[in-house]
Chains A and B, each alone.
Chain A
Amino acid sequence: MSVNAPPVLEIDHVSFGYGSELALDDVSLSVGRGQFVGLIGPNGSGKSTLMRLAVGLLHPRAGEVRLFGAPVGRFRDRHRIGYVPQATASRTGFPATVAEVVSTGRVGRRGLFRRFNQDDHRAVERALDSVGMSGLRDRLIGELSGGQHQRVMAARALAGEPELLLLDEPAAGVDAVAKVELLDLLQRLVEERGLVVVYVSHDFETLRRYFSKVALLNRRLLFYGTPGDLGEQHDVQRQLVEAALAADHHEHGHGGG
């Protein structure tokens, strides 16, 4: 790997909005090799929007997103990225098994018209095993719990053997144990295989030990640095974020959000 290799993910002065209001305002951050980035912010802070911009599902109003140095619109090596969306409502009626869903993670890698081969099968089984879902491989996906579903979606992304994994944590429906197991697995993949992870969550305190870098987002990027720096040197940002998170909890308390 060259020292001059471009960053894996670059968000370059990106703004995005629905209508007149800006959901993201001039956000810039760069994710390099070997990083496990926590993207933290309250509900409505633009985290999921930023992820959708990063994978090219949305197009910025201003600025540019680059993957491995290439503008996202012209990025062709799609198999190098994996994306786990915030699966709010799993498709309960969809007639597919866990293994079948995970195998869709290989389609980008296979290329059009190529048959599913031994490598593909092995990658699917490995991914299932890594998230502890091998035992449920033939279960219909509609019969899974929220946490199991999230793990299947993670396995689906991992089956493509990506170099960059973007994971949008669901706000509800995942139990704490399953969440920690998934994070432990991701940390292992970061350390052993050099996977780059961007993990979206609104929960910072319980997760901080996993992250090599933390991005605090609330429409604008409030902080981007190591968790240590955040704790010691950036009181102002920290207060801002805590205020934002507190406001978010307050909203939740009243059934909003």
Chain B
Amino acid sequence: MGQFIDALGQGYMQRAILAGLVVGVVCPAIGVYLVLRRLSLIGDGLGHASFAGVAGAWLLGVYPLLGAAVFALLGAVVIERLRSWRREYGDLALAIVFYSGIGLGVVLTGLSRRMNANLFGYLFGSILTVTRLDLLVIVSTGVAVLALLTLVRGELFALAYDEDLARVSGLPVSALNYLVVVLAAATVVASLRVVGILLVAGMLVIPVAASLQLARSFRQTLLYAVVFGVASVLVGLFGSYMLDLAPGGAIVLAAVLSFLAASLAGRVGRRRTAMS
């Protein structure tokens, strides 16, 4: 414990906590709209698309998150285009982007002929090695995503509730759909350093799943999801430090634990209401 408190004085730990808090807030905030629209796995598709970007950037010697951003945004546009073109094949659109991303990523990694430990950091997250530049990217992306989400909250809620009704109301449904996947892509990129390509989708959806067990309104759904997201990051980071675990995995496992606890609490709560 004392060790952890000492670590809090260190720059790397302060950067880790700040980056983690941003991810803990932003992932569930956009994840709510993905989950409610049954697009839970979109984060996976975007994460894997960004893998190709990271590998490509690595090969070219440019900043990896820049490569990730290019490919995640490209993936977002492709997913939404395929989805709106053939709505019944939405999951297929995801699968195509998903495997194109991994395929390309694997090929590019092979080309670079050095499976660097740093690349592993992008696959599984490496919150304790977040640099100043990473932090700048994470915080500015996070703030921008949150600001946009706040600005169109009512519209996105109406869209999530019923797309047809939103269309009749005159909302620019197609533009808003693109906005959601693009913001999800930006969030995925901002989260890569913290939880990694393989786990980022978990942070988008698991805190939301936990929140849905308890929430009694949309407002509460958003609020609880963010609370669960932040708590998972802090508990996971602390746990990983104390028990010497991989932080990315520990954070997502903490989110899973919060989901189990919320499910249990939700069930007890409903039983109590039913009896009274």
Binding site for B on A (CB under 8 A): 55-57, 76, 78-79, 81, 83, 85, 91, 93-97, 100-101, 103-108, 110, 112-113, 116, 138, 140, 156, 160
Which residue of chain B has its CB nearest to the CB of A57? B164
Q: Is the CB of B172 within 8 A of A112?
A: yes
Q: Is the CB of A85 within 8 A of B161?
A: no
Binding site for A on B (CB under 8 A): 36, 151-152, 154-155, 157-158, 161-162, 164-172, 212, 215-221
Q: Is the CB of A91 within 8 A of B161?
A: yes
Q: Is the CB of B218 within 8 A of A83?
A: no
Q: Is the CB of A108 within 8 A of B161?
A: no
Query: How far does the alpha carbon of A105 sit from the alpha carbon of B158 in the complex, in Å?
Result: 8
| B168 touches which of A55, A96, A113 (Cβ 8 Å) | A55
Q: Is the CB of B155 within 8 A of A94?
A: no
Q: Is the CB of B154 within 8 A of A108?
A: no
Which residue of chain B has its CB nearest to the CB of A103? B154
Q: Is the CB of A95 within 8 A of B217?
A: yes
| B217 touches which of A57, A91, A96, A116 (Cβ 8 Å) | A96
Query: How far does the alpha carbon of A97 sit from the alpha carbon of B165 in the complex, in Å?
Result: 17
Q: Is the CB of A94 within 8 A of B217?
A: no
Question: Could you list some 20 contacts between A and B, CB below 8 A?
Answer: A78-B170, A79-B169, A83-B168, A85-B162, A91-B161, A93-B212, A95-B36, A95-B215, A95-B216, A95-B218, A95-B220, A96-B157, A97-B218, A100-B217, A100-B218, A101-B161, A103-B154, A104-B166, A106-B154, A110-B154
Nearest Cβ on chain A to B174's Cβ, whole angstroms:
14
Nearest Cβ on chain A to B206's Cβ, whole angstroms:
16
Nearest Cβ on chain A to B241's Cβ, whole angstroms:
34
Nearest Cβ on chain A to B2's Cβ, whole angstroms:
42
Nearest Cβ on chain B to A156's Cβ, whole angstroms:
8
A107-B217 contact, Cβ under 8 Å, with A94-B36, A95-B212, A101-B161: no
Nearest Cβ on chain A to B269's Cβ, whole angstroms:
13
Which residue of chain B has its CB nearest to the CB of A83? B168
Q: Is the CB of B152 within 8 A of A112?
A: yes
Q: Which residues on A sit within 8 Å (CB–CB) of B152?
A: 112-113
Q: Is the CB of B154 within 8 A of A104?
A: yes
Q: Which residues on A sit within 8 Å (CB–CB) of B155?
A: 107, 112
Nearest Cβ on chain A to B83's Cβ, whole angstroms:
18
| A104 touches which of B158, B167, B216, B219 (Cβ 8 Å) | B158
Q: Is the CB of A104 within 8 A of B157?
A: yes
A138-B217 contact, Cβ under 8 Å, with A78-B170, A108-B171: yes
Q: Is the CB of B151 within 8 A of A113?
A: yes
Q: Which residues on A sit within 8 Å (CB–CB) of B151?
A: 113
Q: Is the CB of B157 within 8 A of A100?
A: yes
Q: Which residues on B sit within 8 Å (CB–CB) of A93?
A: 212
Q: Is the CB of B217 within 8 A of A83?
A: no
Query: How far does the alpha carbon of A78 sit from the alpha carbon of B216 in the complex, in Å?
Result: 31
Q: Could you say which of A83, A95, A116 has the most chain B C-beta atoms within 10 Å of its C-beta?
A: A95
Q: Is the CB of A76 within 8 A of B170?
A: yes
Q: Which residues on A sit within 8 Å (CB–CB) of B158?
A: 104, 107
Query: How far does the alpha carbon of A94 sit from the alpha carbon of B161 in the complex, in Å?
Result: 8
Query: How far does the alpha carbon of A93 sit from the alpha carbon of B218 in the complex, in Å?
Result: 11
Which residue of chain B has its CB nearest to the CB of A141? B161
Q: Which residues on A sit within 8 Å (CB–CB) of B172?
A: 112
Query: How far does the alpha carbon of A93 sit from the alpha carbon of B208 in the complex, in Å?
Result: 13
Query: How far does the alpha carbon of A96 sit from the alpha carbon of B134 in the complex, in Å?
Result: 37
Which residue of chain B has its CB nearest to the CB of A139? B216
Q: Is the CB of B168 within 8 A of A81?
A: yes
Nearest Cβ on chain B to A110's Cβ, whole angstroms:
7
| B169 touches which of A78, A85, A91, A113 (Cβ 8 Å) | A78
Identify 7 new A-B residue pairs, CB closer than 8 A, beyond the known A57-B167, A100-B217: A91-B162, A95-B220, A97-B217, A107-B169, A112-B152, A112-B171, A160-B169
Nearest Cβ on chain A to B49's Cβ, whole angstroms:
29
Q: Which residues on B sit within 8 Å (CB–CB) of A97?
A: 216-218
| A107 touches which of B154, B216, B221 (Cβ 8 Å) | B154
Q: Is the CB of B171 within 8 A of A107?
A: yes
Q: Which residues on B sit within 8 Å (CB–CB) of A112?
A: 152, 155, 171-172
Which residue of chain B has its CB nearest to the CB of A77? B170
A140-B154 contact, Cβ under 8 Å, with A56-B168, A57-B167, A78-B170: no
Nearest Cβ on chain B to A78's Cβ, whole angstroms:
3
Nearest Cβ on chain A to B62's Cβ, whole angstroms:
35
Q: Could you say which of B152, B154, B157, B218 has the most chain A C-beta atoms within 10 Å of its C-beta?
A: B154
Q: Could you say which of A57, A81, A83, A107 has the most chain B C-beta atoms within 10 Å of its C-beta?
A: A107
Q: Which residues on A sit within 8 Å (CB–CB) of B168?
A: 55-57, 78, 81, 83, 108
Q: Which residues on A sit within 8 Å (CB–CB) of B216?
A: 95, 97, 138, 140
Nearest Cβ on chain B to A181's Cβ, whole angstroms:
23
Nearest Cβ on chain A to B88's Cβ, whole angstroms:
15
Nearest Cβ on chain B to A65's Cβ, whole angstroms:
13
